[in-house]
């Protein structure tokens, strides 16, 4: 059996997935998921493809088969380069559109494992638990995602003013584990993930320790409801080349008194320890590194679509079109350069791990929240009404109208069929439900950009910037 098929089979594990008001008995057979799951299964198979597996994986020390490089604990710059190569390969295979192929959450787990001794004082079992989990995830190809935010009910309320059940909390514990109640939004890839990394996104104050936990929750636990948004998947791969392959489902997780086994309780009732884990530079840098490599791949793809569209309608010679295409290329170079800078400025942490410099990655993630919506705007400005000059089915026309379509839908340098397909692809990026979701995703996946940009200022060494200014003022005799 192929690795991809093993992954698909493993999803029939009793999980409770809700879509359109119905429980989905088998996600692998539902049209909302089949296209996306086929893509993921193919990527899993690439770890067994000679010639590819060496680029994207490493032989697991325990089971011999190749494990994805997201699980590679980097000890050298070469290791970091191997991680980059794997992220790039999976991102390019999915045109940067699929961002939650679990290499982000896997990197987080790898980071926690790599710095495990930092949390021994907080919980003497942390190191052993994360080591066992890391090895199992690596060797069993576990698919992972994160679910961190509280549901968007009333953001003006503090935890203590909120309905106590709105925010995920531990309500009791017994010899088997802890019982959690509440909800988390949003978990991308939730219906087909094996495990969720669960911890609070924001700092929990010391008065409410029951809300401060770090858990790894199996998707099939009793009482865990995975409530999906509307599906944006299309079954028409010609008309919707992206929506038919890459719709990563987003879901809310509702925990209706879910018993999480002790083995999966990494930290509990300890706001400061949970916050240190959440803020851990090594783990975050390894995970953020993946997001930047992936985002650069997506901007490259959008730039490619924009250049092809400009050429296809003969507008690539106009100065303002060239200016806009040039802007897209500067976006790509900027993100790529920041990823490279993070690797060049990587350093050895206290545990001997080679860690990319996180500052460059945070800058890249912030820039991407503005770059991507701008890239889509440019694509709209270049294709303009052409996106609406696409017949509903490109290939089904017969008789004399088919010749007329060949004539009037042709492009400057391409056939009508090629141009129609190109604009269908462009529409999937700018106008389809999937396209709209992606603009929202790139704006928000790394957190609220208002606060993440502000954090760059708040956390900066401001004196480095202001000292030369005050020195100059003083030189002027003040």
Q: Are 377 and 383 in contact (CB under 8 A)?
A: no
Choose which of 11, 24, 186, 332 interacts with ligand FAD (CB under 6 A): 186
Distance in Å, CB of 277 to ligand FAD, minimum: 15
Is residue 262 packed enough to be buried (19+ CB in 10 Å), middle (13-18) or exposed (0-12)? middle
Scanning 313-346, the segments in alpha helix (DSSP H) are 319-344
Cα–Cα distances (Å) from 245 to 31, 46, 238, 391, 426, in that order, read 11, 17, 11, 22, 15
| Residue 280 engages ligand FAD in binding (rule: CB under 6 A) | no
Q: Which is nearer to ligand FAD, 46 or 145 (CB)?
A: 145
Q: Contacts with ligand FAD in 154-173 (CB under 6 A)?
A: 155
Asked if the bond preceding 103 is cis, omega within 30° of 0, the reply is: no
Distance in Å, CB of 377 to ligand FAD, minimum: 18
Q: Are 365 and 291 in contact (CB under 8 A)?
A: yes
What's the CA gap between 163 and 240, in Å, rounded?
42
Please state the length of the chain. Answer: 478
The interface mask with ligand FAD, positions 445-474, x = CB under 6 A, is: x-xx-x------------------------
The interface mask with ligand FAD, positions 418-437, x = CB under 6 A, is: -------------------x
Distance in Å, CB of 365 to ligand FAD, minimum: 11
Span from 46-54, 141-149, 238-246, 410-418 in contact with ligand FAD (CB under 6 A): 141-149
Choose which of 108, 148, 297, 299 interacts with ligand FAD (CB under 6 A): 148
Scanning 355-415, the segments in alpha helix (DSSP H) are 358-383, 399-408
Distance in Å, CB of 369 to ligand FAD, minimum: 10
Q: Which is nearer to ligand FAD, 99 or 336 (CB)?
A: 99
Cα–Cα distances (Å) from 254 to 160, 280, 464, in that order, read 20, 27, 46
Choose which of 152, 174, 400, 475 interacts with ligand FAD (CB under 6 A): 152
Choose which of 98, 187, 277, 285 interacts with ligand FAD (CB under 6 A): 187
Distance in Å, CB of 199 to ligand FAD, minimum: 9
Distance in Å, CB of 186 to ligand FAD, minimum: 4
| Residue 153 engages ligand FAD in binding (rule: CB under 6 A) | no
Distance in Å, CB of 194 to ligand FAD, minimum: 14
Phi-psi region of 177 (alpha: psi -120 to 50; beta: other; left: phi over 0): left
Q: What's the first-to-final CA gap in the chain, in angstroms?
A: 77
What's the CA gap between 267 and 50, in Å, rounded?
40
Choose which of 84, 188, 368, 424 interacts with ligand FAD (CB under 6 A): 188
Q: Contacts with ligand FAD in 72-111 (CB under 6 A)?
A: 100
Distance in Å, CB of 147 to ligand FAD, minimum: 5
What's the CA gap between 65 and 109, in Å, rounded?
20
Measured at the CA of 199, the angle between CA 197 and CA 205, to 5 degrees, comes to: 175
What's the CA gap between 274 and 257, in Å, rounded?
21
| Residue 205 engages ligand FAD in binding (rule: CB under 6 A) | no
The interface mask with ligand FAD, positions 231-270, x = CB under 6 A, is: -------------------x--------------------
Q: Which is nearer to ligand FAD, 155 or 464 (CB)?
A: 155
Q: Contacts with ligand FAD in 42-71 (CB under 6 A)?
A: none
Q: Strands 66-68, 347-348: parallel, antiparallel or unpaired by DSSP?
A: unpaired
Distance in Å, CB of 230 to ligand FAD, minimum: 12
Q: Are 270 and 212 in contact (CB under 8 A)?
A: yes
Distance in Å, CB of 174 to ligand FAD, minimum: 28
| Residue 175 engages ligand FAD in binding (rule: CB under 6 A) | no
CB under 8 Å, gap of 24 or more: what pairs does 94-97 form? Answer: 94/39, 94/43, 94/245, 94/246, 95/242, 95/246, 95/297, 95/298, 95/301, 96/294, 96/295, 96/296, 96/297, 96/298, 96/299, 96/300, 96/301, 97/242, 97/246, 97/298, 97/301, 97/438
Chain residues that interact with ligand FAD, rule: CB under 6 A: 100, 145-149, 152, 155, 186-188, 250, 437, 440-441, 444-445, 447-448, 450
């Amino acid at each position: 059996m192929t690795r991809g098929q093993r992954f698909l089979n493993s999803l029939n594990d009793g999980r409770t997935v809700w879509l359109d008001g119905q429980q989905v008995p088998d996600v692998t057979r539902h049209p909302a998921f089949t296209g996306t799951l086929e893509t993921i299964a193919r990527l899993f198979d690439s770890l067994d493809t000679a010639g590819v597996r060496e680029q994207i994986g490493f032989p697991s020390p325990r089971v011999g088969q190749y494990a994805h490089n997201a699980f590679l604990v980097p000890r050298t710059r070469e290791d970091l380069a191997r991680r980059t190569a794997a992220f790039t390969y999976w991102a390019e295979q999915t045109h940067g559109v699929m961002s939650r192929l679990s290499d982000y959450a896997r990197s987080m787990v790898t980071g926690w494992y790599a710095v495990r001794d930092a949390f021994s004082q907080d919980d003497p079992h942390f190191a052993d638990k994360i080591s066992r989990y890391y090895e199992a995830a690596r060797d069993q190809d576990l698919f992972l995602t994160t679910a961190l935010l509280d549901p968007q009910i009333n953001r003006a309320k503090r935890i203590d003013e909120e309905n106590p059940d709105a925010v995920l909390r531990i309500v009791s514990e017994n010899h088997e584990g802890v019982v959690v109640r509440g909800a988390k939004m949003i978990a991308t890839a939730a219906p087909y993930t094996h495990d969720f990394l669960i911890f609070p996104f924001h700092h929990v104050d010391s008065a409410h320790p029951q809300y401060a936990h770090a858990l790894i929750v199996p998707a099939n636990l009793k009482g865990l409801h995975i409530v999906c948004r509307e599906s944006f998947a299309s079954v028409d791969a010609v008309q919707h080349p992206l929506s038919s392959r890459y719709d990563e489902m987003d879901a809310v997780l509702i925990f209706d008194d879910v018993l999480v086994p002790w083995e999966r309780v990494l930290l509990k009732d300890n706001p400061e320890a949970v916050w240190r884990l959440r803020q851990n530079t090594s783990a975050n840098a390894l995970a953020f590194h993946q997001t930047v490599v992936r985002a650069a791949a997506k901007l490259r793809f959008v730039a490619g679509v924009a250049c092809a569209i400009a050429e296809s309608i003969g507008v690539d010679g106009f100065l303002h079109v060239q200016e806009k295409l040039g802007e897209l290329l500067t976006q790509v170079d900027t993100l790529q350069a920041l990823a490279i800078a993070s690797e060049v400025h990587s350093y050895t942490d206290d545990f001997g791990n080679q860690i990319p410099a996180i500052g460059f990655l945070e800058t890249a993630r912030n820039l991407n929240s503005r770059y991507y919506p701008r890239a889509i705007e440019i694509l709209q400005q270049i294709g303009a009404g052409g996106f609406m000059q696409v017949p509903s089915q490109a290939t089904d026309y017969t008789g004399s109208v088919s010749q007329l379509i060949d004539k009037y839908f042709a492009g400057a340098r391409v056939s009508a069929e090629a141009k129609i397909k190109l604009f269908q692809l462009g529409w999937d990026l700018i106008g389809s439900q999937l396209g709209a979701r992606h603009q929202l995703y790139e704006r928000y996946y790394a957190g609220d950009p208002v606060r993440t940009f502000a954090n760059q200022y708040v956390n900066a060494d401001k004196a480095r910037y202001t000292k030369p200014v005050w020195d100059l003022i003083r030189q002027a005799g003040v």
